[in-house]
Chain A
């Protein structure tokens, strides 16, 4: 496979509603930004681009079938090849990886990956109904289909199994909201305390409104290129920042739509098929897991996402990462819920299964030099969701995974100050980061590793 570079990106302002523009025009905001950041003219870029991949989740929200072709047309990319990717909340991450495939395979040299969602076209509770249709419509949805309810069920099991607390989860909300305070693209830029999170209206016990991301309108776009593609763009006048940002790891995993169907594997199966290389190499961790299993833990059950673990292990192997906490400078992960950020710490091997709660409150996933108003026992090690994540940036589903990619590109280019007009969120000397996109109750998960060449 050929090397693939993520050379540019753009994000529209995520907002509760964007009635001022059609979805095509909102996408164009992000797309034009990505092109302008390369300092190449629109016609020159259009001439060189080989194709595009489009990402959006729900036809119900847009009430426009084949919405992607209308966007591809609006962006001036017809008649070049394009297709739509859909995989629930992981749609954006999958789209990014589809663009990567087109280039890695040698099929294309320059590909635009763009995504959007317009969730404001229906009222919030109808929107929740649409989202809940991404659960089995025979057996799950009719029982009381509600994604916050599904995630709350998962976390009650996590709490029971591992002793995770609501206060530990609230640390995620405080961190991500305060990070977003410095991100002008974010929908919610507020400072909250642990108490604020717990005092917010209860949505699905134990998750409050501040444990849960909001619905948004928004778009994001990235431009990926091969070495040959970069040469073509530069020959046409593009200014592509050096060092380049290379995509060095790609991983994906899946699991049953119905979380009730997920297996409850024994210790040996977990170690053989799911433990990270780092976990397998540590006798202390093996003993720790044996103890968990002896007390009744089974994997993944409803408390863990084996799709996330599978995607992470695959991406780490591809990128040559052995100790993700130490070898990643940041992670932009899919925190639709504070609980899912905690669960994902474990899936991605940032800590061991069962230790996501204490990890959330440890300070290791926080940024240095920001006053979170919290007493954190440990120094920051690997910033998780330095952008503010979904909880604070918003979650226009088809755009979210690509938003993560854009923020990762900017982190690795060292250009956060340029794009945010604020350097607070710039991860110092960022060399390598991961983006993690997650669908359903953990049905599709993608992990991509980006690094500074």
Chain B
């Protein structure tokens, strides 16, 4: 049986108020009393839609919609970035695109999020992983599916994994996710 929590969840919203208690006369005594008032708190809604450009990183997202994982590579040193990066951090040179879809992948680090930012709360528990690709110098943040979140274990680190792609692309990095290989 589910236990009822001992504390009721706090939420915003409430009754619309059209007047507030205030002294009928602004006598010196009444004005002095105003410093004892509890603060008035109101809600201020705020929302905005940004027009966000993936700019030079756009091919990576186009790759995911076509079931390909791209990476960036320095043209001389071959240093390879699993997370797109238009210029190499050591040479400063513009990087090239390579395809790492078939590279072996394993979990470098992970967590199971039982809570999350508001935008992801309804997805909890979810598993975040840092993916290590063979022959690639840096990692990729992604999600792991196909495991039991209650069985989280350090043994997951080093687990061989393979990419899966969602059919209807959202043009988000979550268009690719991983499952045990």
Contacts and interface: CB of A to CB of B under 8 A. Distances in A.
B7 interface: no
A204 B112 contact: yes
Interface stretch (B17-25, B26-34, B94-102, B133-141): B133-141
Contacts of A264: 137
Interface string A112-144: 000000000001011011011000111110111
Contact of B12 (A123, A137, A150, A303): A123
B174 interface: yes
A295 interface: no
A156 B157 contact: yes
Given A153-B130, A157-B109, A201-B114, A258 B119 contact: no
B4 interface: no
B116 A125 contact: yes
A207 B116 CA distance: 13
B123 to A, nearest CB: 7
A145 B119 CA distance: 9
B128 A143 contact: yes
A143 B127 CA distance: 10
Contacts of B149: 205
A262 interface: yes
B128 A153 contact: yes
Contacts of B117: 125-126, 128-129, 131-132, 144-146
Given A153-B111, A205-B152, A302-B108, A258 B141 contact: yes
Contact of A146 (B10, B115, B158): B115
A138 B39 contact: no
Contacts of A204: 111-115
Given A146-B117, A205-B112, A260 B41 contact: no
Given A63-B44, A153-B128, A154-B109, A137 B52 contact: yes
A262 B115 contact: no
A156 B111 contact: yes
Interface residues of B, number: 50
Given A19-B41, A123-B12, A146 B116 contact: yes
A125 B116 CA distance: 7
B1 to A, nearest CB: 19
Contact of B110 (A125, A132, A153): A153
A159 interface: yes
A374 interface: no
Given A137-B52, A160-B157, A261-B83, A144 B123 contact: yes
A139 B173 contact: yes
Interface in A177-232: 201-207
B16 to A, nearest CB: 20
B120 interface: yes
Interface string B159-181: 00000000000001110000000
A152 interface: yes
A140 B115 CA distance: 17
A19 B114 contact: no
Interface of A: 19-20, 63, 123, 125-126, 128-129, 131-132, 136-140, 142-146, 148-150, 152-154, 156-157, 159-160, 201-207, 256, 258-264, 302-303
11 contacts: A125-B116, A126-B118, A131-B117, A142-B172, A149-B111, A159-B154, A160-B157, A260-B140, A261-B83, A261-B139, A302-B108
